[in-house]
A and B are shown apart, each in its own frame.
Chain A
Amino acid sequence: MTEIISLVVAKYNYWLYIVLMMIGLYAMIAKNNLIKKLVGMNIFQTAIILFYVSIGYKTGATIPIIKNAHGSHGAEAAVIHAAEYINPLPHVLMLTAIVVSVATFGVAMALCVRIYQRYQTLEEDELRMRLSEK
């Protein structure tokens, strides 16, 4: 039991991403309201962002701006230890992924508006009923 707890605590951010992802997936599959599904979708995408941000993190490291890059020229400035800096690449990738998810969210919202204008409802079962009537 203690082993499991220590396993969870040591990598809690990864466990959290899986939990968040499953919450999002559940909402997307099981919720009846389209806006709730959208919220689920956003949670799902955010979970992946958390995952990527976790990849880049290192204990005790700082932001990737090289120390003493200005001012001290010469030999002592040349040594850069990668372990002192967190990995910026996953974070940069996530900037792109955030843009993508915002764009997706915008398109989905626009679609919801269109659906609401046409049917006056966003409940999926009502929509299905209205569609089968036609």
Chain B
Amino acid sequence: MNNYPAILIIAPLLGAFFAGLAAWIQERLSYPLALISLALSTFASVNVLMEVIANGTVHYRMAGWAPPMGIEYRIDLLNAMVLVLVSSIAFLNLLASYQNVEQETHDRAASFYVAYLLFVVGLLGVVATGDLFNLYVLIEITSLTSYTLVALGDRDRAPLASLNYLFIGVIGASFYLLGVGYIYIITGSLNMVDVAGILPNLPGSSTVLVGFILCLLGVWIKMALFPLHVWLPNGYTYAPTAFSRVVAPLMTKVMVYVMIRLMITVFGLEYIFVTLHLSEAVVWLGTIAIVFGGIMALAQKNLKKMLSYIIVCEIGYMVGGAWLGNELGMTGAILHIVNDALMTFALFLALGNIVYKIKDVDYSNLSGLFGKMPWTMAGFVLAAFSIIGVPPTCGFFSKWYLILGAFEAGAYHFAAALLISSLICAVLFFKVFEICFFAPEGNGLSHDNSHGHGDPVIVMDEAPVASLVTLGIVSLALILVGVYSGTIVNTIILPFLR
């Protein structure tokens, strides 16, 4: 038995420890240490995925204690895929963001890396664990580090945004903890598979229902589903670029994963869709989230905030899809976890490059960007097409599954919301393209640092090479995942669901 499931979490944990220690000796050492530990973690997660595809679910018992007493890391196809996603995005982002960290949090770079690694540890642990209480602890590790990292951002607004995020995050985590308490009362177990074995013997138990709803509510707050989303836009907008690049694609998606894990593994689809009659209401909630997120994104004048509202919109896709109650919808939701993480990552990478060059990304400052940063904008356009859902990119395929699922379930309002949101996203991004491409340079205030006025040649002024290379890799991944989405569905998602 190999130890990859443990390595993939312990590597960044030890990395955080040593990166903090090394900073006492030599500040510069912490970055390579962080990078190495995340590379190790990515390597381990790829290995775990290979093993799961070849031999089925991996059970890793922490310290050899057998479940249900001990904590078990249970990695099946779904986890393994999300683990690869999380570790590789965290690694690539760190690779890309060295210059951004130096620019924005220069004096606290070492603490940034330490908190960043702990954040990744939390995310990986949330995905890998098979224990309900362990999940809570790891969610809190993730959240605590993300509060501190958000607070490292914009000096004026970030602490307040982070504090609001903290208040709401604590409520969410506490609701989840309370739900776990109710499940523990009725089953006497905290191991997910063990609980799943006991729950069918308790039909009609109101304790189970309360536990389920509290857990679900907690996870919804953490993933920023529509009425519970208020912390997200400010938190992500004022966070340091290097962090918003990783939290935007990963945090909400991992929480969607937790919801799907609770639905499929713990409570069981039969309980959720046959016994409870919630699905219609939740699909409506998803629909409203999509429409509201889109409309709020339209109202923004700041690129970073606009992208944050697109995340709120995308959460609606996944929640609605997962609750449609058929295989197509669930497939779409799971595939969208991967696709949305990649698209959001590409968007925020491009955004980070833009922020690196022009500090303030209000729409009025964006003019002439296509000339100034052609490579960054090429990646941005590709990611935008993927969000809109243009066929060769991956965003199209998950949306296609979601729409098919919506029709099969008869949820025409959800299908309509998906189409409307595509339109809204098209409007949103073409508005940005128009400003970047056509608006005459110099109507913003940010160009006083460029060469004297009247200069007709736009000087190319690109972001650091590492950022551009990463953006290139992710853009390529957007197309490759799109082209091979059939393979992903057939080898990972469908075997998992059946």
A binding-site residues for B, Cβ under 8 Å: 25, 28, 34, 37, 41, 44-45, 48, 51-52, 55, 90, 93, 96-97, 100, 103-104, 107-108, 110-112, 114-115, 118, 127, 131, 134
Contact = CB atoms under 8 A, between A and B. Distances in A.
Contacts, number: 70
B159 A37 contact: no
Query: What is the predominant secondary structure among interface residues of chain B facing chain A?
Result: helix
B167 A131 contact: no
B466 interface: no
B170 A114 contact: no
Nearest to B141: A100
B181 A55 contact: yes
B178 A48 contact: yes
B178 A112 contact: no
Contacts of A111: 147, 151, 159-160, 162-163, 166
B362 to A, nearest CB: 14
Given A44-B170, A103-B140, A107-B144, 20 more contacts: A25-B171, A41-B167, A48-B181, A51-B178, A100-B137, A100-B144, A100-B173, A103-B144, A104-B144, A108-B167, A110-B151, A111-B147, A111-B151, A111-B162, A111-B166, A112-B163, A118-B155, A118-B156, A131-B157, A134-B156
Contacts of B181: 48, 51-52, 55, 90
Contacts of A134: 156
Interface residues of B, number: 26
Nearest to B158: A114
A93 B144 CA distance: 18
Interface of B: 133, 136-137, 140, 144, 147-148, 151, 155-157, 159-160, 162-163, 166-167, 170-171, 173-174, 177-178, 181, 184-185
Contacts of A37: 167
Given A96-B137, A114-B159, A107 B170 contact: no
A1 to B, nearest CB: 24
Given A28-B171, A41-B167, A97-B177, A107 B157 contact: no
A100 B160 contact: no
Given A51-B178, A127-B160, A107 B140 contact: no
A45 B174 contact: yes
A100 B177 CA distance: 12
Given A97-B177, A115-B160, A134-B156, A107 B171 contact: no
11 contacts: A41-B167, A44-B171, A48-B174, A51-B178, A93-B133, A97-B136, A103-B140, A104-B147, A111-B151, A115-B163, A118-B155
Contacts of A55: 181, 184-185
Contacts of B147: 104, 107-108, 111
Contacts of A28: 167, 171
Contacts of B133: 93, 96
Nearest to B185: A55
B218 to A, nearest CB: 11
A52 B185 CA distance: 9
A41 B155 CA distance: 25
Contact of B140 (A41, A100, A108, A112): A100
Nearest to B167: A28
